[in-house]
Amino acid sequence: MRTSNHLIGALNFLTFVLSIPILGGGIWLSSRANNTDCLKFLQWPLIIIGVSIMVVSLAGFAGACYRNNFLMYLYLWAMFIIIATLLGFVIFAYAVTGKGSGQPVMNRAYLDYSLQDYSGWLSDRVASDSYWAKIGSCIRDSRACRKMGRNIGGVPESAEMFYLRKLSPIQSGCCKPPTSCGYVYINETVWTPGGGLVGPDTDCTKWSNDQEQLCYGCDSCKAGVVASLKKSWRKVSVINIVVLIILVILYVVACAAFRHNKRIDNDEPYGETRMEKSQPSRIHF
């Protein structure tokens, strides 16, 4: 019994430790939601799962220390629900971020982004008027475009140097016009129409050199946000998958240890079934 309780206590300590990267991933998404991605509902499922694992692990640890089988029974059911929820979140994250990517542009190091390349729940949610009003305002307040400015000897960098920069999806989609529009580079956030003509893309007419407008209303900006979210979610999902695998292994071991405890509590010899105990043989050797 003592060895089994020690094992369960150790397993609960490990699950408590494993909750830290999940909670950390949620906090990281929260910081990006405030500063970069600007979509603030995505981090809460991870934060809730991380906190739940912490609380349940502490409950399981207490149950092992005090040999409370009822508390351990609740712990195993709670962990089963948490594992199923985490698995559902990972599947959901990959499902909604599975389609779409940036488009390579000739003689450019950065990618262009088009909302038409993305489809599904995430892109529809980002592009909806109710959400985009908040997201666009958040991107504007984050000053992501103003941070693009680079001066060399007090002079803005040349077009050739700018074309060699690897811009983030939001910088590429929100802070400059799409390359297909044919605008001429002046500096990072000031562009003029080439020959007075612009391309057929509807985003071409939405571009403004007003630093409070730029391309915040463009579909390319919405696509940049979706691409940024996709990148963030994929990073967190890799951690979640590793944690999920370890949690499943620990859960199986905890179930075996719990069953061993019940056998000892019921005074059952190891390997002997309940049917044999309820109907013992009258012949003893």
How large is the angle between the packed helices 2-35 and 69-96, nearest 10 degrees? 30
Instruction: Quote the radius of gyration of the chain (alpha carbons, Å).
Output: 28
Which among 85, 99, 138 is positioned nearest to 223, based on CA atoms? 99
pLDDT at 272 over 60: no
pLDDT, the chain, mean: 80
Of the listed ranges 40-44, 104-108, 121-125, the one predicted with least confidence: 40-44
Q: Which tens digit of pLDDT belongs to each residue from 234-267?
A: 888 888 898 888 888 888 877 877 777 677 666 6
Element (H, E) at 87: helix 69-96
Which among 88, 98, 115, 83 is positioned nearest to 15, based on CA atoms? 83
Q: What is the pLDDT of residue 42?
A: 62
Which among 253, 254, 246, 285 is positioned nearest to 21, based on CA atoms? 246
Distance from C-alpha of 126 to C-alpha of 13, rounded to nearest angstrom: 39
Check if the beta carbon of residue 100 is closer than 8 Å to that of residue 81: no
Q: Which tens digit of pLDDT belongs to each residue from 111-164?
A: 999 998 887 788 888 888 888 888 888 888 888 898 888 887 778 789 999 999
Q: Is 166 exposed, middle or buried (0-12, 13-18, 19+ CB in 10 A)?
A: exposed
Question: What is the secondary structure of 151-219 as a DSSP string?
Answer: EETTEEPPHHHHHTS---HHHHHHSS--GGG-EEEEETTEEEEBTTB--S-HHHHH--S-TTTTTTTSH
pTM as predicted: 0.75
Residue 77: count other Cβ atoms within 10 Å of its Cβ: 11
Q: What is the pLDDT of residue 40?
A: 61
- Give the tokens for residue 254: 């905890």
